[in-house]
Structure 1
Amino acid sequence: MAVPRLQTFGQSAAAKKVIAQAIGYADGAHEIAHIHHRAQLIYAAGGIVRVITPGGLWMLKPGMALLIGTQIEHELHMVGQTALRTLYIDPEALPPLGSDCRMIALDDLLRASILSMCATGEGSDAEAIEQRAALIVPLILHLLAERLAGAPTAADDEVRLALPENPRLRTICDSLIADAANADTLEQWAERTGA
């Protein structure tokens, strides 16, 4: 991955435990490698998101969200028209993550809470949004803490592909992630990577 850029949210958001954002992406869009001072919960309300960290590739499927720890370099790749809903969470408001990322199963209550935090319908005033957040944020933090208290399950590994640390092998994996239809032979890869 390239040198990551740091995303910040400014002084007005610094005191908030949770910052919500709703973003629509076209098929094939991607966010370059970056890090946050906050943990990030990513939920694709529509489409599929591939998240790449130094430790693996995560596929977000319906009903799941990915919690990325603070200061973890990551990039996002969209498959299909994607409706991304994301929460940036003060890391001190969460129990320790224990690893760089954790899959979170979404029940109806957590899903609705995330969507409500990200909804800023036309005509919504700042005071109404703040009042809604004051009610929803403690609930979201409680629900996430419950899920983080449990051990990771086999389902976590079903959506994560570990990526190698060896630079030559990582080059091949990164190329295949970028172009899964690549049909190069083992000999071509060996020549290209010096193996």
Structure 2
Amino acid sequence: MSQNSQAALRSTNPEDYQGVPRAVAAMPKDFADGFEIAPHRHRRAQLIYATAGTMRISTEEAVWVVPPQRALWMPPGVRHSIVMSGDVTMRTLYLRQDAAAGMPEVCRVLRISPLLRELIVRATEMPVHYDERGAAGHVEALILDELHHEPSLPFHLPMPRDKRLQRLCSALLAAPGDQRTLEHWAGSANASPRTLARLFVTETGLTFGAWRQQARVLEAMGRLSGGQAVTDVALDLGYDSVSAFSAMFRRASGVSPSAYRPAR
């Protein structure tokens, strides 16, 4: 059987990859727009990556929006859920404990270089029980070397534990363009604006305004990487002009919104 045939027959059940006697186990799996993976955890550390489409990945502590230029490092045992934005071609790596040594002990966004992208794709085409002494073993070694040298990026949204703030934050994640003030939200939360403002800083390290802006930045990254027009994203997220949105996005991310749109 050819390697391509073996890849086509490869399991899409993550449990089948947790005990593979290889340092890296790669699982290809495609998802439709809007598909949700319920909260779960894995025994192995995981690199959650997609060559197309955007994923919103949530844990109890934070939310990450992960476009194709990025991946999320997930340590073993961390409970998480995933929502797909656009059709997603997920290419997940599961790393054995010794292979994950030296990687972050908490979730981190990693940049995916063109080389690492091709290595990940190649890993999903190799047999699951690949020959570690052959060419596949070199691919495995290069993947681990690249992973251990990729810098972490500060693109995450800390989530509060207070139930009132959780409801507020969930509503803003569902509608990041919502312009309502903290005074408005205080009424439905049965708390004073001052109390909510204090809780935001205590539980997330951000003010309400900064948290909402970060939510908009992450949402914009996902939409832009999916090919949406900058003007449409700016208006959907509550900005009066494209220039105001672009200035905010550049301050927060260091690049222009157009840098996140796929090249033609």
Task: Give the TM-score category using the shorter length.
Answer: 0.7 to 0.9
The Cα shift of 1:116 comes to 0.6
More displaced, 40-49 or 53-62?
A: 53-62
Counterpart position of 1:146: 149
Counterpart position of 1:103: 109
1:170 is the counterpart of 2:177: no
In proportion to residue count, which structure has more strand?
Answer: 1
- Once the two structures are superposed, the pairs formed by residues 22-171 of structure 1 within 5 Å of their partners are 22-119=28-125, 126=127, 130-131=130-131, 133-147=136-150, 152=152, 156-157=153-154, 159-171=155-167
Task: Determine which structure has more spread, i.e. the larger CA radius of gyration.
Answer: 2
Separation in 1, partners of 2:17, 2:70: 29
Asked if the contact 1:95/1:145 (under 8 Å) is kept, the reply is no
Separation in 1, partners of 2:102, 2:125: 28
> Structure 1: where are the runs of 5+ without partners?
1-6, 121-125
Closer, same or farther: CA 10–108 of 1 in aligned 2, 3 Å: closer
Separation in 1, partners of 2:17, 2:69: 31
In proportion to residue count, which structure has more helix?
Answer: 2
Asked if the contact 2:103/2:148 (under 8 Å) is kept, the reply is no
Separation in 2, partners of 1:32, 1:184: 30
Q: Which has the higher contact order (CA 8 A, sep 6+)?
A: 1
> Structure 2: where are the runs of 5+ without partners?
1-13, 192-264
Give SS of 1:92's match.
coil
Q: Normalized against structure 1, the TM-score is what?
A: 0.76
The Cα shift of 1:16 comes to 1.9
How big is each residue's C-alpha offset from its partner over 1:45-99, in whole Å with a ceiling of 9 and x where there is no partner?
1111111112211111232111111111111111111111111111321234444
The Cα shift of 1:23 comes to 1.1
Closer, same or farther: CA 54–87 of 1 in aligned 2, 3 Å: same
Q: Normalized against structure 2, the TM-score is what?
A: 0.58
The Cα shift of 1:165 comes to 2.4
Separation in 2, partners of 1:189, 1:113: 47
Separation in 2, partners of 1:54, 1:63: 24
**Equivalent residues, number:** 175
Percent of pairs with identical residues? 31
Asked if the contact 1:52/1:74 (under 8 Å) is kept, the reply is yes
